[in-house]
């Protein structure tokens, strides 16, 4: 891979929140807004239903330490690159690569962002709808007096009801585009800041309630006490699984590779270094993931309920826990409010990405871009909402239903390959170039991007990303070939 910088640096003019560059381009009103919105985009449902489970499975705090290492050497650099491309170009992915690499050699990559964000919304709107539905169900006492089988039946009945699934999906779309219709500062920034602050507040209350339950200490020990024995339980192979799990979680938790973060970089000034900002966002994302475990494990252990992984943890296991807890309806409602905010913050952030792309690519007003994008998102989200009922027969062996197929395309393909292309663009002379990237990343006060990391970015980071991509296909190929 060529790693020489581009011969002609391309750097956008200095920008500030009060005096944005790029004509009448709207910028964030505050640094806090940028951090909370970027973190809200990164914080997703995987922070809740995947991270705590695999952390507990692979040694608790021992796994968390391993995860943090990969977050710094894998996720953080790609996040800085997305921010740098956005801030230097002062454009979304629709035009950023053309502006930074005028030969238009990378013009095609702009569509990667649009397709990736659209595919993400095709199933995330449905999953977010589940959160809103469960907030209402928990608040109205739907789960009162139900045994575990009854709670599971509620979830199954919801999935089997096409009108309910489509209805909640539409509610999510209306909320998301309504917020975006007020613009960046008055809509996206203002509402997301409120949601994120409320999210952290609700999480704090739930953590206090969970860790003070009788019998919670055992769950805390399982989750937080380092246990390298569990990490090496299966010998070298077991440790390899733990490493891959930590690598994958560190990579996928930030939703990098589809320019979901790039657009936010295009709406900030140069007062602060991008490495420092990315560290804060990664830290907030990790804090939410760790706090989720402090809610889940003490509560599950206190009531002798085995914590599960995936949607069943949130929609079957935890309602059973809340049923046994004093004032469980209140705590359960608060939990799903937190989950709804976590999902909606991602929805709003990615909708804003799609809207900005549409405005710049086709030179449309925000209103026209919202109309076009809302119609497209609604139509394309229908297959997932109907994929558990009307279209339940549409499956791919080894992957699953429509929601799983769409998730697989994004998570196992577009995210890793897109991240790899960002690395090539920012390091190679065939792209933007190392010197240009470094100058943009280091502009402003705060932590600087390490210059010595160029070799790692050119060879080590691409190697890890390729491993993640290949390992995502190994179990599928083995199943398809009848080897599993």
User: What tens digit of pLDDT does each residue of 381-435 get?
Assistant: 999 999 999 999 999 999 999 999 999 999 999 999 999 999 999 999 999 999 9
To the nearest whole number, what is the mean pLDDT of the chain?
A: 91
Q: How many domains does the chain have?
A: 1
Gap between the Cα atoms of 162 and 165, Å rounded = 5
Task: To the nearest 10°, report the CA torsion of 137, 142, 144, 148.
Answer: -90
Is 291 part of a structural domain of the chain?
yes
DSSP designation for 397 = T
The mean per-residue pLDDT over the stretch 132-155 comes to: 94
User: For position 419, what pLDDT does the model report?
Assistant: 96
CA angle, 419 then 421 then 422, to 5°:
65
pTM of the model: 0.92
Assess whether pLDDT exceeds 70 at residue 295: yes
User: For position 23, what pLDDT does the model report?
Assistant: 43
pLDDT tens digits for 12-23? Answer: 333 333 333 334
3-class state of residue 240 by DSSP = helix
The mean per-residue pLDDT over the stretch 77-92 comes to: 97
Is 14 part of a structural domain of the chain?
no
CA atoms lying within 13 Å on the CB side of residue 387: 22
pLDDT band at 2 (very low <50, low <70, confident <90, very high): very low
Gap between the Cα atoms of 69 and 200, Å rounded = 24
Are residues 192 and 36 in contact, defined by beta-carbon separation less than 8 angstroms? yes
Are residues 27 and 269 in contact, defined by beta-carbon separation less than 8 angstroms? yes
The mean per-residue pLDDT over the stretch 87-114 comes to: 95
pLDDT tens digits for 337-394? Answer: 999 999 999 999 999 999 999 999 999 999 999 999 999 999 999 999 999 999 999 9
Share of the chain above pLDDT 90, in %: 78
Is 437 part of a structural domain of the chain?
yes
Give every CB contact of residue 368 below 8 A, 6+ residues apart in sequence.
none
Angle between helices 274-302 and 216-224 (to 10 degrees): 140
3-class state of residue 418 by DSSP = helix
Is 23 part of a structural domain of the chain?
no
Is 405 part of a structural domain of the chain?
yes
CA atoms lying within 13 Å on the CB side of residue 334: 20
User: For position 24, what pLDDT does the model report?
Assistant: 63
Are residues 251 and 419 in contact, defined by beta-carbon separation less than 8 angstroms? yes
User: For position 3, what pLDDT does the model report?
Assistant: 35
3-class state of residue 429 by DSSP = coil
Point out the least confidently predicted range of 211-225, 344-358, 384-398, 436-450: 211-225
Is 481 part of a structural domain of the chain?
no
**Residue with the larger pLDDT of the pair 445 and 311:** 445
Do you know the residue count of the chain? Answer: 484
CB atoms within 10 A of CB 364: 16
DSSP 112-138: HHHHHHHHHHHHHHHHHHHHHHHHHHH
Tokens 């013009």 sit on residue: 107
pLDDT tens digits for 170-203? Answer: 999 999 999 999 999 999 999 999 999 999 999 9
CATH of the domain at 393: 1.10.4160.10
Share of the chain above pLDDT 70, in %: 95
Assess whether pLDDT exceeds 50 at residue 117: yes
Gap between the Cα atoms of 106 and 386, Å rounded = 36
Q: Domain range for residue 449?
A: 31-476
Gap between the Cα atoms of 77 and 140, Å rounded = 45
Q: Secondary structure of 51-82 in the HEC alphabet?
A: HHHHHHHCCCHHHHHHHHHHHHHHHHHHHHHH
The mean per-residue pLDDT over the stretch 282-306 comes to: 92
Strand partners, 445: 272
Are residues 445 and 271 in contact, defined by beta-carbon separation less than 8 angstroms? yes
Gap between the Cα atoms of 484 and 476, Å rounded = 9
Assess whether pLDDT exceeds 90 at residue 306: no
pLDDT tens digits for 385-400? Answer: 999 999 999 999 999 9
User: For position 239, what pLDDT does the model report?
Assistant: 83
User: For position 484, what pLDDT does the model report?
Assistant: 67
Long-range contacts of 179-187 (CB under 8 A, 24+ apart): 179/348, 179/351, 180/348, 180/351, 180/352, 180/355, 180/370, 181/366, 181/367, 181/370, 183/26, 183/366, 184/26, 184/27, 184/28, 184/267, 184/352, 185/26, 185/28, 185/29, 185/33
Is 286 part of a structural domain of the chain?
yes
């Amino acid at each position: 891979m060529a790693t020489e910088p581009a011969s002609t640096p391309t750097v956008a003019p200095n920008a500030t929140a009060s005096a944005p560059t790029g004509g009448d381009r709207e910028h964030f009103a505050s640094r806090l807004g940028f951090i909370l919105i970027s973190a809200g985009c990164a914080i997703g449902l995987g922070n809740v239903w995947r991270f705590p489970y695999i952390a507990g499975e692979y040694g608790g705090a021992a796994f968390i330490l391993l995860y943090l290492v990969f977050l710094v050497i894998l996720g953080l650099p790609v996040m800085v690159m997305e921010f740098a491309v956005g801030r230097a170009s002062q454009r979304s992915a629709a035009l950023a690569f053309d502006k930074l690499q005028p030969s238009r050699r990378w013009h095609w990559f702009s569509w990667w962002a649009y397709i990736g964000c659209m595919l993400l919304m095709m199933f995330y709107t449905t999953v977010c709808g589940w959160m809103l539905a469960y907030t209402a169900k928990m608040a109205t006492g739907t789960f009162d007096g139900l045994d575990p089988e009854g709670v599971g039946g509620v979830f199954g009945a919801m999935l089997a009801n096409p009108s309910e699934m489509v209805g909640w999906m539409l509610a999510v779309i209306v909320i998301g585009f309504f917020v975006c219709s007020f613009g960046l500062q008055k809509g996206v920034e203002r509402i997301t800041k409120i949601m994120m602050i409320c999210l952290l507040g609700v999480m704090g209350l739930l953590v206090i309630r969970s860790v003070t339950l009788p019998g919670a200490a055992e769950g805390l020990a399982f989750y937080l006490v380092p246990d390298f024995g569990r990490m090496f339980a299966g010998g070298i192979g077991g440790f390899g699984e733990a490493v891959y799990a930590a690598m994958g979680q560190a990579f996928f938790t930030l939703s990098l590779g589809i320019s979901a973060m790039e657009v936010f970089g295009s709406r900030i000034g140069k007062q602060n270094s991008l490495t420092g900002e990315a560290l804060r966002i990664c830290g907030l994302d990790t804090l939410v993931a760790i706090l989720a475990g402090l809610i889940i494990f003490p509560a599950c252990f206190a009531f002798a309920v085995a914590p599960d992984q995936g949607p069943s943890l949130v929609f079957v296991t935890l309602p059973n826990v809340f049923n046994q807890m004093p004032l469980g309806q209140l705590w359960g409602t608060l939990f799903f409010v937190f989950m709804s905010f976590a999902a909606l913050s991602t929805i709003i952030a990615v909708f804003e990405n799609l809207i900005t792309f549409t405005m710049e690519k086709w030179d449309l007003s925000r209103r026209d871009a919202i109309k076009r994008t809302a119609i497209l998102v609604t139509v394309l989200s229908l297959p997932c909402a109907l994929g558990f009922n009307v279209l339940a027969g549409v499956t791919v062996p080894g992957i699953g239903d429509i929601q799983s197929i769409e998730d697989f395309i994004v998570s196992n393909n577009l995210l890793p390959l897109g991240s790899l292309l960002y690395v090539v663009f920012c390091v190679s002379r065939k792209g933007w170039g190392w010197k240009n990237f470094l100058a943009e990343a280091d502009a402003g006060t705060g932590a600087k991007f390490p210059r010595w990391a160029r070799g790692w970015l050119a060879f080590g980071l691409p190697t890890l990303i390729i491993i993640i991509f290949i390992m995502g296909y190994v179990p599928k190929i083995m199943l398809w070939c009848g080897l599993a």
